[in-house]
């Protein structure tokens, strides 16, 4: 009798463990886990290294500042592909993080949302003074997520919206900061970026999504960038959504608003189509 009771208790404990494990796996998809990592070190350029050698000096990479991030993952052991996500000029908005963490998790991706502002004491950068160091934040996040046991380091994409989209283009521009980094992104997705900040030659396959009526980061600048590309680097896909404005994928802007002299407004049709385009693009970039 005692033996049978012991076996039963063991079975109940085993089932309980399975239930807890299932709950923890599901929780990863719903709420982001707070993590910390360093922005990537700013490495000396080849020119700076040559000058240092000529002057018999040794240059050292300065460690980047400590950043906060929010990590979500799908159920299972992995290894999963991952997406590093950069926020816009107003910071990491809860509704954006919730929508995209759930979406990426349902697609089978780990997501790391980078908070470039809180540890720097910054509230917003919407006055046009973009934080150039955010490019290094992206690569610091890449280094962090690539070392997680449940992530496939060969399949990590970078994505960003608005100012984060602009940073995304800068981070993967051919011959830019990417050439100084040991780890490389596999693909890039930029929602409504300022295309005048890039020349269009990208080191990795890149998807740009922008509204036809965007008066903050005009679609015309992206069309100009595409027309002036040299043809070097990877393929760049530009999707322009008819009737859509800046921040068309932000569900919290259903009523629309005027911000910093620009119209921002949610557009359900554009948001849904853009999400579908992103899913197809990432699947193709990661090899199915």
Mean pLDDT of 4-28: 34
Under the banding of pLDDT at 50, 70 and 90, the label for residue 30 is very low
Residue 1 has pLDDT above 80, yes or no: no
Cα-based distances in Å from 134 to 41, 53, 94: 12, 29, 20
Share of the chain above pLDDT 70, in %: 82
Residue found by looking up tokens 């090899």 in the block: 287
Count of CB atoms situated within 10 Å of the CB of 133: 17
- Going by C-alpha positions, the residue among 113, 143, 95 that lies closest to residue 251 is 95
56-114 confidence digits (pLDDT tens) = 666 566 778 999 999 999 999 999 999 999 999 999 988 888 999 999 999 999 999 99
Query: Quick check: 220 and 191 in contact, CB under 8 A?
Result: no
Closest listed residue to residue 118, CA positions, set 140, 146, 87, 96: 87
Residue with tokens 């830019």: 176
Contact present, 146 and 50 (Cβ < 8 Å): no
> Sorting pLDDT into bands at 50, 70 and 90, what band is 127?
confident
Q: Domain 33-285 - what CATH class?
A: alpha beta
Residue 241 has a pLDDT of: 98
Per-residue model confidence (pLDDT) at position 134 = 94
Cα(164)–Cα(167) distance, integer angstroms? 5
- Name the more confident of 18 and 120: 120
| pLDDT-based confidence at residue 218 (cuts at 50, 70, 90) | very high
253, 271 in Cβ contact below 8 A? Answer: no
Is 70 exceeded by the pLDDT of residue 189? yes
**Does residue 8 register a pLDDT over 50?**
no
Q: What value does the mean pLDDT of the chain take? A: 86
Q: Between residues 131 and 279, which one has the greater pLDDT? A: 279
Percent over 90 (pLDDT), the chain: 70
Query: What does the pLDDT look like over 241-285, one tens digit per residue?
Result: 999 999 999 998 999 999 989 999 999 999 999 999 999 999 999
Output the pLDDT for position 48.
60
- Pairwise CA distance, residues 228 & 29, whole Å: 41
Measured distance CA(163)–CA(35) in Å, rounded: 22
């Amino acid at each position: 009798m005692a033996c049978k009771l012991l076996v039963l208790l063991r079975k109940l404990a085993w089932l309980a463990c399975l239930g807890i494990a299932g709950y923890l796996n599901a929780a990863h998809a719903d709420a982001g886990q707070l993590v910390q990592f360093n922005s990537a070190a700013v490495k000396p350029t080849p020119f700076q290294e040559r000058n240092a050698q000529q002057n018999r000096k040794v240059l050292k990479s300065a460690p980047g500042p400590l950043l906060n991030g929010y990590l979500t993952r799908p159920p299972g052991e992995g290894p999963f592909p991952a997406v590093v996500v950069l926020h816009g000029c107003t910071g990491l908005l809860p509704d954006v993080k919730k929508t995209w963490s759930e979406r990426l998790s349902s697609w089978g991706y780990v997501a790391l949302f980078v908070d470039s502002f809180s540890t720097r004491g910054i509230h917003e950068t919407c006055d046009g003074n973009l934080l150039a160091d955010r490019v290094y934040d992206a690569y610091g996040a890449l280094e962090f997520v690539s070392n997680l046991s449940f992530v496939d380091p060969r399949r990590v994409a970078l994505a960003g919206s608005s100012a984060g989209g602009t940073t995304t283009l800068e981070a993967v521009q051919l011959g830019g900061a990417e050439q100084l980094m040991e780890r490389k992104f596999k693909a890039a997705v930029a929602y409504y970026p300022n295309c005048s900040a890039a020349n269009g030659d990208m080191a990795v396959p890149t998807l740009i999504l922008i509204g036809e009526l965007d008066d903050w980061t005009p679609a015309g600048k992206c069309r100009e960038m595409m027309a002036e590309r040299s043809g070097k680097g990877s393929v760049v896909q530009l999707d322009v959504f008819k009737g859509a404005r800046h921040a068309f994928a932000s569900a919290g802007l259903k009523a629309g608003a005027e911000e910093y002299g620009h119209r921002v407004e949610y557009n359900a049709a554009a948001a849904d189509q853009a999400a579908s385009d992103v899913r197809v693009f990432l699947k193709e970039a990661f090899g199915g």
